[in-house]
Structure 1
Amino acid sequence: MKTLIHDETSIHYVVAGSESPTLLFVHGANIDLTYWDAQLAYFEDRYNVIAIDLPGHGQSGRNKPHWTVKGMGEDVAAFIKSLKLEQVILIGHSLGGNVNLVAATTYPDPIIGFIGIDNFKSAGQPLPSEYQEQSEQIIQQLHQNFADTDEQYARMVLLTPQTPEAVSSRVVQDYREAFQPMATEIIEAVFKSEYKTEQELLPKLPCKLHLINVDYMPTQEGPLQTYTTKGYAVHHMAGTSHFPMIEKPNELNKRLDETIKEILAEKRSK
């Protein structure tokens, strides 16, 4: 485990392997870099592999006055600059994909590939009107009873009754124990305004958008056609939850492997 300081906040990370290009793994909300353990072990023999704890998560710092997706994305961009990383393929799960979108458009020069894991399923779309009131209730309840509300959100939106118990238990525990100031601000942004950021930044993504999305919830491709200017590809996989890296790590590794090879082949052909 290593540490980098940016904007007075520590960013903890792990490095495995050494061969270029770099695979930079960024986890989703309320979890940490250990969710990528199976991916680091799988790819470390062939690539330079890095996973980070986003600020407010895992062993990274918690001393920010405000928590935003934009700020986290700028942290990732600064991380790439500080380590002088080149030929970077960004791999982001859920919120990590949105964080990476900010990073890739803030510092595009070293970015050669972009992979979202169960992400951008309704890119650039606000919450449907029927869920607006429900989202306001969730935000209010997070302030009043954070642990129970965050668990309920995870079970209602990110897990299903068919999800293996080991996966559900791990996710629920992490959501209950998440850093409340960060988690509350971030989910409010996701509910209310993050779709506007997607509308603004997806057209500026410097490379093709690759998504590996789990079919427990469908992906709307219409918005992807609207907002991506470098093209997109959706790679579907079966699963019962939002967390394929721990539910079906072997299948995710296979699909990541195929996607990374596709990115590198596209880069060589240019």
Structure 2
Amino acid sequence: MTVFHYGNQSVEYEKIGQGQPLILLLGMNDIIESWLGVIGYLKKYFEVYIIYRPGIGKGNVDMEKVSIQNTAVIIEAFIQNNRLKNVILMGHSYGGLCIQAIMCSNEINIARAILIDSSSVNFKQLDTLDTPILNDFQSDDKWLKYCSNLMN
């Protein structure tokens, strides 16, 4: 693993494969081991950068700056510092939120963004969507009953 430093903060990352750069941002509690199958496939076609959140592994974070926006700024600096072009961003969960912040900043040119099980930075708008199937499960009890019926 390698460490990228940004001011008094840093992120640990691993670089695997060759080709178009693809940055994989893991979720809040993700570990690389849970992504080995995906990484094994991606490295055949892309130069994959697997990046941990600031403060995880050998990374360091300024506790007063912990936020999605702070992570986005560090990733933007990582892309610029490594002179990466035509970058694909792939983020799971929290990583997807960070990618949305990067996309909103317009500081760097991103080829594509892939969000996996990511919520929206404007998550409150999700409450206004008309989702008839999900609306049937307005309580935990209804949802648990539905799930237990699936197991039978």
Normalised TM-score (structure 2) = 0.73
Asked if the contact 1:92/1:115 (under 8 Å) is kept, the reply is yes
Which residue in 1 is equivalent to 2:14? Answer: 14
Asked if the contact 1:74/1:103 (under 8 Å) is kept, the reply is yes
The share of aligned pairs that are identical, in percent, is: 24
Shift of 1:17: 1.1
From the two aligned structures, give the one with the greater helix fraction: 1
Which residue in 1 is equivalent to 2:124? Answer: 125
CA deviations 1:61-107 (Å, max 9, x no partner) are 14433311111111111111111111111101111111111223335
Q: For structure 2, which runs of at least 5 residues remain unmatched after alignment? A: 128-139, 148-152
Shift of 1:115: 0.7
Structure 2 residue identity aligned to 1:100: I
Which residue in 1 is equivalent to 2:104? Answer: 105
Question: What secondary structure, in the 3-state scheme, does the structure 2 residue paired with 1:65 have?
Answer: helix
The one of the two structures with greater contact order (alpha-carbon pairs below 8 A, sep at least 6) is 2
From the two aligned structures, give the one with the greater strand fraction: 2
Which residue in 1 is equivalent to 2:56? Answer: 57
C-alpha distance 73-34 of structure 1, shift in aligned 2 (>3 A): farther
Question: What secondary structure, in the 3-state scheme, does the structure 2 residue paired with 1:22 have?
Answer: strand
- In the alignment of these two chains, the number of paired residues is 130
Once residues 27 and 113 of structure 1 are traced to their aligned partners in structure 2, the CA distance between those partners, rounded to angstroms, is 17
Structure 2 residue identity aligned to 1:64: M
CA deviations 1:23-54 (Å, max 9, x no partner) are 11001113344433222211112111111011
Shift of 1:124: 3.2
Which residue in 2 is equivalent to 1:23? Answer: 22
CA deviations 1:224-263 (Å, max 9, x no partner) are xxxxxxxxxxxxxxxxxxxxxxxxxxxxxxxxxxxxxxxx
Structure 2 residue identity aligned to 1:105: C
1:220-239 equivalences under 5 Å are none
Which residue in 2 is equivalent to 1:165? Answer: none
Asked if the contact 1:15/1:50 (under 8 Å) is kept, the reply is yes
Asked if the contact 1:77/1:106 (under 8 Å) is kept, the reply is no
Structure 1 residue identity aligned to 2:17: G
Shift of 1:121: 6.6
Asked if the contact 2:22/2:90 (under 8 Å) is kept, the reply is yes
Which residue in 2 is equivalent to 1:79? Answer: 78
Asked if the contact 1:30/1:57 (under 8 Å) is kept, the reply is no
Q: For structure 1, which runs of at least 5 residues remain unmatched after alignment? A: 129-155, 161-215, 217-270
Once residues 42 and 115 of structure 2 are traced to their aligned partners in structure 1, the CA distance between those partners, rounded to angstroms, is 17
Which residue in 2 is equivalent to 1:68? Answer: 67
C-alpha distance 29-79 of structure 1, shift in aligned 2 (>3 A): same
Which residue in 2 is equivalent to 1:35? Answer: 34
Which residue in 2 is equivalent to 1:228? Answer: none
C-alpha RMSD of matched pairs (Å): 2.6
Does residue 114 (structure 1) correspond to residue 113 (structure 2)? The answer is yes
Question: What secondary structure, in the 3-state scheme, does the structure 1 residue paired with 2:39 have?
Answer: helix
1:200-211 equivalences under 5 Å are none
